[in-house]
Structure 1
Amino acid sequence: MASDSELDHRKIQLRVSNHKAYVWDVEDIATLRAKHHICGVLTGTLPHLSQQNVFLGVPLVLLPEEVVLLIEKQLAVLIDDPHAHQPASADALRRWNAEREESARTQIAKAEAEKASEKAAKLSTSEEAIRKRKEREAKRAAAARAKAIAEGLPVEDLPASVLNPPVEESRPSTPSRLAPPTFNVTIPASSMDVEWYTPDAHAYSTLDSARAAGIWTYPSTPFERAKCRVFQDLWEKGNFMGGGIKFGGDFLVYPGDPLRYHSHFVATVIESPKAPLMPMEIVAHGRLGTATKKSHLFCEWDEDKQTVTYFSVEWAGFG
């Protein structure tokens, strides 16, 4: 399969599978949203979250118009994800498993040494405390005997605790019968010696090369090309774009990040100035847009002039 000779690692990798583009890197997702005004749709699940009907996790699925825009602006490359995953040889797998086991043994030995050092430090501290207590008790007994002699009192009348202070000996700790200690071990997920994933060999930086490889075919019709041009024009005006199917259009147009702003327009794409537009469509879109506190935007793409014309419709009511 032909691919581009070099992969610019500064570009965002769009991993294509079954003609859909995914972004798996969290930093790339943040860059797309903050720097390039590309939101996509998160479709993955978040661990330890019982209800996931508001916020989801990676991967991020991009609209096809977003993919075309990123490739044409040379901000991303397409990766043939299924072919980029290569099965490793038996020797490589054995070497990888040996590395994992050696890494685990090293981490366990280090943890055991640290725990033994902590135990020895605690034991040394305990023995030092016992020694100091013995010295205090011996000084106290000597002072009591000296005081009794100075006052002419018989020493044998002093309390036994003064004459013979108790000596607390350190006892060797008995072996614990509890379960053996547990340690947290980090197992490497991959190895530099095993090439599980080779995106460089299956990267495409242009739509033509990706189309020739059969991994990406959008846009392929006049309507799809019109949607890409309208999307790009609205994006270049500084808008954030999203899918508009739930409001009866092709796109939702936001003045800023959708997490902070509501959309102002529902955009419907008209593929050419000669495309028919029924009066019922105008009425329906106008009433629906007004009911959802938006204006409906008809976006007409002229292939000959390479321009987009916009018509805003809002239901005003009569009578």
Structure 2
Amino acid sequence: MASDSDIDRKIQLRVSNRKAYVWDVEDIATLRAKHHVCGVLTGTLPHLSQQNVFLGVPLVLLPEEVVLLLEKQLAVLIDDPAAHQPASLESLTRWNQEREESARRQIAIAEAERASEKATRLSTSEEAIRKRREREARRAAAARAKALAEGLTPEEVSVSTPVADEPRPATPSNITTTPSFTVTIPASSSELEWYNPSAHAYSTLTSARAAGVWNYPSTPFEQAKCRVYQDLWEKGNFMGGGIKFGGDFLVYPGDPLRYHSHFVATVIESPKAPLTPMEIVAHGRLGTATKKSHLFCEWDEAKQEVTYFSVEWAGFG
């Protein structure tokens, strides 16, 4: 089991149906920028639930990424279904009251700001009207003085005097306008008593396996994939799923948002694993056709090392 300090300090990977999800946006940014772990965004975006090009949280991690993060002590696994506990009626009532109180506070602040802005606008408008009347009065007095200087009698002097602004028609009493406000209601329940991640958090693969939360890797091939992934990661590469290009991983020299992958990696679980000539030819042709080199990654359990063989189709195209 993981301690509360581990949960607060490390990235939380919430496991459900044998898949690890990351829901915190800051954790997603940390994984990508600091730890070279990209994962795949699978959630829909607000107001764009029908599109499938740009996706949002949660981030789903490859099982090899999960194993790497736990072995490097960068993350903890949380049994998400078990962490959600039935809530009592009292706690639900209190939670709703807190949300309503938060909304009322935000509305009160918004109303005060709107009233202050309205008073400022009204004061500015009244000052502008006063200045305009003063200008018109000065202009009328100057015109009257000029006329008298030209020898006109007071009866012949006709100067328009400023007319007071007509009051605007009042809004009919039967028409009412309801002000609208944007209120932010927190949707997270991480601090509520019906969600208790600390009681169902695991900081090691052994403890998570014993609890039945995580069982990867469970075969020699899965073990080889984890070791290959770790070795490529330690060399500074970014990795993604390679199934669309006929391999196990795509290997990028930098962030996939800035670089194309240079290699398609296929994992060979041991030096004794069979590899037919047809596979070599197929992978070589496919890799070259997609402007990549195919990388055969052989894991040697006895030597605890990875051997790499790069294949390109010479003279292709």
Q: Tell whether the structures are fold-level matches, with TM greater than 0.5.
A: yes
- Computed over aligned residues only, the root mean square deviation of the Cα atoms, in angstroms, reads 2.9
* Distance change >3 Å, CA 171–CA 192, structure 1 → 2: farther
* Amino acid across the alignment from 2:71: E
Distance of 1:29 and 1:308 partners within structure 2? 29
- Structure 2: any 5+ residue segments left out of the alignment? none
Specify the alignment match of 1:124 in structure 2.
Answer: 123
Specify the alignment match of 1:168 in structure 2.
Answer: 164
Q: CA deviation at 1:76?
A: 1.0
Distance of 2:255 and 2:144 partners within structure 1? 85
Q: CA deviation at 1:295?
A: 2.6
Q: Does residue 316 of the first structure (1) align with residue 314 of the second (2)? A: yes
Q: Does residue 16 of the first structure (1) align with residue 12 of the second (2)? A: no
Instruction: Please tell me whether the aligned partners of residues 148 and 157 of structure 2 are also in contact (alpha carbons under 8 angstroms).
Output: no
Specify the alignment match of 1:79 in structure 2.
Answer: 78
Q: CA deviation at 1:67?
A: 0.7
Q: CA deviation at 1:58?
A: 1.8
Specify the alignment match of 1:212 in structure 2.
Answer: 210
SS of residue in 2 equivalent to 1:216: coil
Specify the alignment match of 2:193 in structure 1.
Answer: 195
Instruction: Please tell me whether the aligned partners of residues 7 and 203 of structure 1 are also in contact (alpha carbons under 8 angstroms).
Output: no
* Distance change >3 Å, CA 137–CA 232, structure 1 → 2: closer
Q: CA deviation at 1:233?
A: 1.4
Distance of 2:136 and 2:53 partners within structure 1? 68
Q: CA deviation at 1:93?
A: 1.8
Q: CA deviation at 1:63?
A: 0.8
* Distance change >3 Å, CA 118–CA 84, structure 1 → 2: same
Given the alignment, which residue of 223, 234, 237 partners 2:235?
237
SS of residue in 1 equivalent to 2:110: helix
- Structure 1: any 5+ residue segments left out of the alignment? none
Deviation readout 1:65-98 (Å, 9 max, x if unpaired): 1110111011111111112223432122222222
Specify the alignment match of 1:6 in structure 2.
Answer: 4
Distance of 1:126 and 1:6 partners within structure 2? 59
Q: Does residue 257 of the first structure (1) align with residue 255 of the second (2)? A: yes
Deviation readout 1:235-255 (Å, 9 max, x if unpaired): 212222222212222222222
The structure having more radius of gyration, on CA atoms, is: 1
Specify the alignment match of 2:282 in structure 1.
Answer: 284
SS of residue in 1 equivalent to 2:256: coil
Specify the alignment match of 1:60 in structure 2.
Answer: 59
What TM-score do the two structures reach when normalised by structure 1? 0.85
Q: CA deviation at 1:138?
A: 4.4
Distance of 1:172 and 1:54 partners within structure 2? 53
Distance of 2:203 and 2:184 partners within structure 1? 36
Distance of 2:15 and 2:189 partners within structure 1? 24
SS of residue in 2 equivalent to 1:156: coil
Specify the alignment match of 1:43 in structure 2.
Answer: 42
Distance of 2:147 and 2:281 partners within structure 1? 113
Instruction: Please tell me whether the aligned partners of residues 2 and 76 of structure 2 are also in contact (alpha carbons under 8 angstroms).
Output: no
* Distance change >3 Å, CA 69–CA 50, structure 1 → 2: closer
Q: CA deviation at 1:149?
A: 5.8
Q: How many residues align?
A: 313
Deviation readout 1:193-219 (Å, 9 max, x if unpaired): 733433222211100111111110000
* Distance change >3 Å, CA 308–CA 192, structure 1 → 2: closer
Instruction: Please tell me whether the aligned partners of residues 255 and 261 of structure 1 are also in contact (alpha carbons under 8 angstroms).
Output: yes
Deviates more, 1:306-315 or 1:144-153: 144-153
Identity %: 81
What TM-score do the two structures reach when normalised by structure 2? 0.86
